[in-house]
Amino acid sequence: MNPQLQEGLQAAHRRVIAALLAEREPAGHWIGELSSSALSTATAAIALAQVDPERHAPRIGEALRWLAEHQGS
């Protein structure tokens, strides 16, 4: 890869990370709500399962129940 391109990508990556971290609350987390769509719910469930399936089991279960209840609607 072109060294200048790689340097530019790394700088952009650092800026994006800094911007995201700056949006956190003082306690170190973000506040918000997920969209009530099947795609966002499934994405969230998969993300939680990738991070720590045991810790997030209740939320993953809630997401799967929501998906089952709302399929085809």
What would the 3-class secondary structure string for the chain be?
Answer: CCHHHHHHHHHHHHHHHHHHHHCCCCCCCCCCCCCCCHHHHHHHHHHHHHHCCCCCHHHHHHHHHHHHHHCCC
Q: Output the CA angle 7-17-11, nearest 5 degrees.
A: 15
pLDDT at 34: 61
**pLDDT tens by residue, the chain, 73 residues:** 899 999 999 999 999 999 999 999 999 888 887 677 899 899 999 999 999 999 999 999 999 999 999 887 6
pLDDT at 65: 95
The rounded distance, in Å, linking the Cα atoms of 20 and 18 is 6
pLDDT at 71: 87
pLDDT at 30: 86
pTM: 0.53
- First vs last Cα of the chain: how many Å apart? 46
